[in-house]
Amino acid sequence: MKNIFFALAALLPLMSAYGRETVVSAVRTGERIDITVGNTLFTSYRFHSDEKYPFFFPVNGPVSGSGVTSMRNAEWPHHTSLFFGCDKVNGGNYWQEGLERGRIVSVGARIVEAKGSRVVIEDECIWKRPDAEAPIIDRRKITVSSPSENLFQLDFDVEMEMLVDVTILKTNHSLFSARIEPDLSVKQGGVMVNAEGKQGEKETFGTSSPWIDCYGTRKTGVEGIALLQHPSNEWFPSPWFTRDYGFISPTPMYWPKDERATVLKKGDRVKLRYRVLVHGGDTRQAGIGKLYEQYKNE
């Protein structure tokens, strides 16, 4: 009996530590929601009234606790960490800087589940610009969990409803995107690899693939971020717009074969699902391929 007692006592610190690492919580502060895994700030969902669109920043890794995405720079000021938007929508721009060109405005961000094994956030966003009819309303569900100690998971599920007839001209600025932190980019020695094992901008640009992973070596170890698109998505598998300086986006609007525009009718609904995996280790060590196989069956 005494031996069992001591064995349990020895396990308690490990169990406690494991619990701290896997509990996910959320707190709203003004126009942002901070999401924490254990004692680590994972990300903040930001929906400020003076921003172009809602976005996630920072997006911190489980190994370093530091960002795996970057927040704008002088060369590419419209790359805002991890975000969702689109250019050339009925003459508006819901991607690049300039609020008068178009904005995606949050009107209902709320925490549905705040603590436990996951956090769930729901939001409703209106796409609008001055002196024009709002073309789209989107309803999004954001689910954050931590399946293991070295893995943070963010699901971004969105349904776009067309409020009027919508024409999206050919554009590389479309839908869910991630600007990778420079030290994880190919340009600075990192690796960009897709599901078929193709690497770098030269091999992945314009190539259809279910997912892309970007990782690199930091002082604390290898860390990366993978972006997965669900097979139920419209236009799956979308070709990728990639850059070796650190940008990835499955971008269907840039590659139309028969026409230069994507046309959607009033009342049409487009459902899109993405999963972001922020992980320790390289692609193989993190098991990105196996994790995608799980995701596509969900």
User: Mean pLDDT, the chain, as a whole number?
Assistant: 91
DSSP code of 184? G
- Note the pLDDT of residue 115: 77
For residue 148, is pLDDT > 90?
yes
In which band, very low, low, confident or very high, does the pLDDT at 157 lie, cut at 50, 70 and 90? Answer: very high
Please compute the mean of the pLDDT values over residues 206-226 and round it to a whole number. 97
Return d(Cα 51, Cα 35) in angstroms, integer. Answer: 20
Return d(Cα 21, Cα 14) in angstroms, integer. Answer: 11
- Radius of gyration (Cα) for the chain, nearest Å? 20
Percentage, residues of the chain above pLDDT 70: 90
Return d(Cα 56, Cα 104) in angstroms, integer. Answer: 14
Return d(Cα 228, Cα 151) in angstroms, integer. Answer: 14
Percentage, residues of the chain above pLDDT 90: 84
- Note the pLDDT of residue 226: 98
Return d(Cα 257, Cα 262) in angstroms, integer. Answer: 11
Categorise residue 131: left if φ over 0, alpha if ψ from -120 to 50, beta otherwise: left
Domain count, the chain: 1
- Note the pLDDT of residue 44: 98
For residue 282, is pLDDT > 70?
yes
- Note the pLDDT of residue 97: 87
User: In this structure, what token pair is assigned to residue 67?
Assistant: 């960002």
In which band, very low, low, confident or very high, does the pLDDT at 75 lie, cut at 50, 70 and 90? Answer: low
Are 260 and 104 in contact, with CB atoms under 8 Å apart? Answer: no
- Note the pLDDT of residue 74: 52
pLDDT digits (tens, 9 = 90+) for 84-115: 999 999 999 999 888 999 999 999 899 999 87
What domain range includes position 178? 2-296
In which band, very low, low, confident or very high, does the pLDDT at 20 lie, cut at 50, 70 and 90? Answer: very low
- Note the pLDDT of residue 238: 95
User: In this structure, what token pair is assigned to residue 80?
Assistant: 């805002």
- Note the pLDDT of residue 257: 65
Which residues partner with 182 through β-bridges?
Answer: none
Q: Which CATH number do you get for residue 56?
A: 2.70.98
Backbone CA torsion sign across 37, 288, 188, 56: negative
- Note the pLDDT of residue 32: 97
For residue 16, is pLDDT > 80?
no
Quickly tell me which residue has 């991890």 as its tokens.
82
pLDDT digits (tens, 9 = 90+) for 219-278: 999 999 999 999 999 999 999 999 999 999 999 999 766 567 899 999 999 999 999 999
Return d(Cα 219, Cα 280) in angstroms, integer. Answer: 12
Return d(Cα 104, Cα 127) in angstroms, integer. Answer: 4
For residue 15, is pLDDT > 90?
no
What's the N-to-C CA distance of the chain in angstroms?
Answer: 44
